[in-house]
Amino acid sequence: MTDAKTRIDETVKASDVVLFMKGTKEQPQCGFSSRVAGVLNFMGVEYSDVNVLADEDIRQGIKDYSDWPTIPQLYVKGEFVGGCDIITEMTLSGELDTLLEQQGVGYDKAAADKIREANG
């Protein structure tokens, strides 16, 4: 059996965007995971979701892997971006748009603008 760190490493490198979350993108199981998944879903970002509630090794392992104590955790092109507060701030400031553009990840710019208008 592969250890959690190896499985996590393979997962974050297998997709351009990966969200480790409680629940799934279709059915989040906590408010913070729901907020980040909602932003990504609304912006039309294609991403893989990993339900940490389904695997205790991954649930603890992702915290050790990133040295970040909370879930959700967003990875873009294998790099840890942040949790709910950071993703929310980046979305509202436009930094998430910039990061996605720089990494060649497709998203709906008009949807991102709508999020900023609604929260401005």
As averages over each run of 10 residues, the pLDDT of the chain (120 residues) reads: 87 97 97 97 98 96 96 98 97 98 97 94
What gap in Å lies between CA 75 and CA 116, rounded to an integer?
Answer: 22
| Cβ atoms of 83 and 68 closer than 8 Å | yes
- What is the model's pLDDT at position 32? 97
State how far the Cα of 51 lies from the Cα of 34, in Å rounded to an integer: 12
DSSP 107: -
User: What's the chain's length in residues?
Assistant: 120
- Model pTM greater than 0.75? yes
Instruction: Tell me the domain boundaries of the chain.
Output: 4-119
**pLDDT, position 120:** 78
Closest among 68, 117, 71, 60 to 94, alpha carbons compared: 117
Spatial distance between the Cα atoms of 97 and 68, rounded to a whole number of angstroms: 23
Q: Look up the CATH superfamily of 4-119.
A: Glutaredoxin (3.40.30.10)
Of 102, 85, 104, give the one whose Cα is nearest residue 39: 85
DSSP assigned state of 23: B
Q: What is the pLDDT of residue 2?
A: 66
30 has binding-site annotation: yes
